[in-house]
Amino acid sequence: MTGRYELSDQRWQMIKDIVSPPQTMGRPRRNDHQMLNGILWILCSGAQWRDLPERYGPWKTVLQCFRQWRIDGTFDQVLTRLHLREDGLMDLDTWMVD
């Protein structure tokens, strides 16, 4: 069961290779699906980062992921992939990420 504002496993599989590429070195990352769900929770709820529910992990870590994915173009790639789907999964006229 998917919680409010969370990405289903099916939709996660559509973008997993963009958001969570294989890691070859460094410290193991936190669960990228969980991080993305935390970001979506903040963006959809309008809450402050410090109010992020604990189930998504430390708010500072989720915020850091958000900043990195925004800077490195990950969000743009996700939007492009979802927009190119023929099933009309996303309406770019109403979708926005700051």
Please, what is the average pLDDT of the chain? 83
| Assessment of whether the complete model's pTM goes beyond 0.85 | no
Q: Of the candidates 88, 5, 1, which has an alpha carbon nearest to the alpha carbon of residue 53?
A: 5
pLDDT in tens, 23-47: 888 787 789 999 999 998 998 899 9
The rounded distance, in Å, linking the Cα atoms of 67 and 69 is 6
Query: Among candidates 50, 54, 16, which has minimal Cα distance to 36?
Result: 16
Domain spans of the chain? 31-98
Compute the Cα dihedral for 19, 21, 26, 30 and give only its sign. positive
